[in-house]
Amino acid sequence: MSSLPSSKLQFNQKKNVFVTQLGEPDTEEEDELNVRKFPVVEENGWALVRDGTKTLQSTLLLQKQQELLSVDRELESKRRDFAVRMERCMSKQNELRAEQQKIKERVEKFDRFVRENEVKRQRALAKFQNERKQQVRKL
């Protein structure tokens, strides 16, 4: 059984070593054939998750543009809401001014009424005093 060539394991020493055990390759071509190249990552894990190692700049740009559009839409919505609130405030302010004007007119009317009554009272008092003086003179 051991004489069968297919049952015999053969190892290529350079192809079956760990990356940490590699020595200096003899030639660049030999290095390319024997070892698979891995990119060296110097960022921490959170930065890799956040940024994504294979994310292209154009993808990031598109993401930022989408964020910008979303923020612009939200800003426009807020501006519309603000305009509606300001319109309501202006409407209420106009209503309050009209109400204040009505109150002012009522106060002026009442003040005029009070002054006219005071004048009438003084005339009536003067007339009463004159009539009394005349009655006293007649007696």
Contacts of 113 (CB under 8 A, 6+ apart): none
**CB proximity list for 39: less than 8 A, separation 6 or greater:** 53
Determine the pLDDT at residue 97: 97
The span from the CA of 89 to the CA of 121, in Å, is 47
What pLDDT is recorded for position 62?
85
**25 residue type, one letter:** P
Structure tokens at 29: 């071509």
What does R_g of the chain's alpha carbons equal in angstroms? 51
The H-assigned helical ranges of the chain are 28-34, 45-51, 57-138
Q: What is the pLDDT along the chain (139 residues), one digit of tens a residue?
A: 444 445 554 545 555 544 554 555 556 665 555 555 555 656 666 666 566 555 677 777 888 899 999 999 999 999 999 999 999 999 999 999 999 999 999 999 999 999 999 999 999 999 999 999 998 888 7
- The reply to whether the predicted model has a pTM over 0.75 is no
Q: What is the pLDDT of residue 58?
A: 75
pLDDT at 2: 47
C-alpha 103: how far from its chain's center? 41
CA 121-123-127 angle, 5° bins: 115
